[in-house]
Structure 1
């Protein structure tokens, strides 16, 4: 067997056998790197970020971040239990930290580690706005988007290696292939993959915030404020890791009624 055939078969086999399931969509997901390896590293990295940051541990804002975070997390666990995944988060260690920093940002790490920067709070504007952001970040953690990005990066690297082997020893051809493959896989696969995750997190997050008792209409309003804060600018969507602001606003508005219907299944019919 040639080296090319070996690596091709290995790559295809790894993709086929290394799949998980997203409980919210029912779709198969890439899982080349198991959570048993990811979570300990995630927890360690999260703690390192906190050690190197100005974490606000007391006061009304810090309390709000924790309150909203646990309400969203509890909503997710209620949904998972109701839909046949009662043990899905058994290895998660939910933690919600407020970091004193002007960045307009919030992020999630695998296993339920969430960070908010104070710079995003004025745009969140109210607790429901914080819940819209929190629902999105919790959704990233629940949908194992970090695991999928790591797996996709490994596949991208392996596919590049297979292509290089197929070309042979011609260095000029290898360089041309590397440039074309890098650009093509980034624009055609990795960036759309990332945008898909963002849209998926919006879809899951808006339902979780509604189940937690927060008005899902606030999600679209939040992104309207985000658009205004950015001046309406940003790169073209096909060059971005995120959908455009207009796309998100439109999608979230179209999801609002479905989120309310989902919340009603849990007895939640009024929202704050």
Structure 2
């Protein structure tokens, strides 16, 4: 029931914005949540940007939040490596995301971990092949996320999951996924909110990573028809969102009297 919901988990890309374009109703809805003192955390599989950069991007759109209220797959990888007691990493990602790993040793020579994100148009065969060679030498593959595609300004675009699948196939090794739909990733946000799964609501546009991932944790999930959403998503037999809304403008009506 809605009265049991105490906080929200909200995706960024595809829900708040599409690449560089703000989605209708996003600013007003976040402002409404803040005015009602309804706790929320952003959960994003974005692998190109640090949390600090994401804060600045949101601020440019008129959304003011603290960086520790943004949970990224990049940050999840930092915590994973920190808790492992190891520190040698091959970082296959863009420079801004790399800044989150400053406490570790970045090396291409016998790393403990290969941390694979999305290089976008900076992707080169040499980097992927070197990662493949290091997997053969015993490195563990940490996939920041395994999304199939995302909606960029130029249209549907291959995401990091394609490169992860390529390395898994070639090396016959499975990756450890850091972001959604990993239960560990959702658990990080729940721990920060100090709430149980049944007390939060996930809002996302990805039927697999957002909706299915949340449901595996016992979290109710709302599918938004923005971002990468396609009508065929609603025909997936095994994944049924708790609710479906056109955009965030409909969230206020869905939540009813939640908050102050």
TM-score bracket for this pair, using the shorter chain length: under 0.3
Larger RCO, structure (CA 8 Å, separation 6 or more): 2
* Structure holding more helix per residue: 1
Which of these two proteins has the greater Rg computed from alpha carbons?
Answer: 1
TM-score normalized by the length of structure 1: 0.26
TM-score by length of 2: 0.27
